[in-house]
Structure 1
Amino acid sequence: MDDLDAYIRSRAEGDLFHWDSQVDAAERFGTTLARVEEAALAQGLLPARYQRNRQAISVNDQLTLFRSRVAVIGCGGLGGYVIEELARLGVGTIIAIDPDVFEEHNLNRQLLSSPGTLGRAKVEAAAARVAEINPAVTLLPREEAYAPENGMELLRGAQVIVDALDSIQTRLALAKTCTDLGVPMVHGAIGGWYGQVATQFPGDDTVQKLYRRWVEGKGVEQKLGNPSFTPALVASIEVAEVCKILLGVGEPLHNRKLSVNLLEIIFVSVDMINDPPSAAD
Structure 2
Amino acid sequence: MFPSLDVAIHSMMIPNPMPQGGHALTLPPGAVAVIAPDQGLSGCGVEARALELDIIPTRYLRNMHSITPKAQIRLLRAKVAQVGLGGLGGTLLEQMLRLGVGTLRVADGDDFEESNLNRQALSDTSNVWRSKAEAARIAAARINPSVTMDARHEFLSQDSLPGFLTGADLAIDALGGMTHRLTLQQCAAEADIPLVTGALAGWTGYVAVVMPGQPGPAQFMGLDNGAEEKLGCPIPTVNLVATLMATEVVRLLSGEPSPLTGKMLLIDLKQLSFETVSL
* TM-score clears 0.5: yes
Q: 1:105-124 CA distances to partner (integer Å, 9 max, x unpaired)?
A: 10000000001111211011
Q: What residue number does 2:10 align with?
A: 9
Per-residue deviation, 1:148 = 0.7
Q: 1:139-171 CA distances to partner (integer Å, 9 max, x unpaired)?
A: 111111111111101111111111111232200
Contact 1:185/1:200 (8 A) holds in 2: yes
Structure 2 letter corresponding to 1:59: P
Q: What residue number does 1:247 align with?
A: 254
Contact 1:186/1:199 (8 A) holds in 2: yes
Mark the runs of 5 or more structure 2 residues left unpaired by the alignment: 16-23
Contact 1:44/1:60 (8 A) holds in 2: no
Q: What residue number does 2:18 align with?
A: none
Q: Which of 189, 196, 205 is 2:215 aligned to? A: 205
Number of aligned residue pairs: give it.
269
Q: Structure 1 length as normaliser, TM-score?
A: 0.90
Q: What residue number does 2:170 align with?
A: 160
Q: Structure 2 length as normaliser, TM-score?
A: 0.91
Q: What residue number does 1:180 align with?
A: 190
Q: Distance in 1 between matches of 2:107 and 2:115?
A: 20
In structure 2, the residue corresponding to 1:141 is in which secondary structure?
strand
Q: Distance in 2 between matches of 1:135 and 1:227?
A: 30
Per-residue deviation, 1:41 = 2.7
Contact 1:68/1:91 (8 A) holds in 2: yes
Contact 2:177/2:228 (8 A) holds in 1: no
Q: What residue number does 2:135 align with?
A: 125
Q: Distance in 2 between matches of 1:172 and 1:34?
A: 32
Q: 1:36-80 CA distances to partner (integer Å, 9 max, x unpaired)?
A: 323323323220111111011111211110110111110000000
Give the root-mean-square deviation of aligned CA atoms. Answer: 1.7
In structure 1, the residue corresponding to 2:66 is in which secondary structure?
coil
Contact 1:244/1:252 (8 A) holds in 2: no
Q: Distance in 2 between matches of 1:158 and 1:10?
A: 33
Q: Distance in 2 between matches of 1:266 and 1:235?
A: 17
Structure 1 letter corresponding to 2:135: A
In structure 2, the residue corresponding to 1:268 is in which secondary structure?
strand
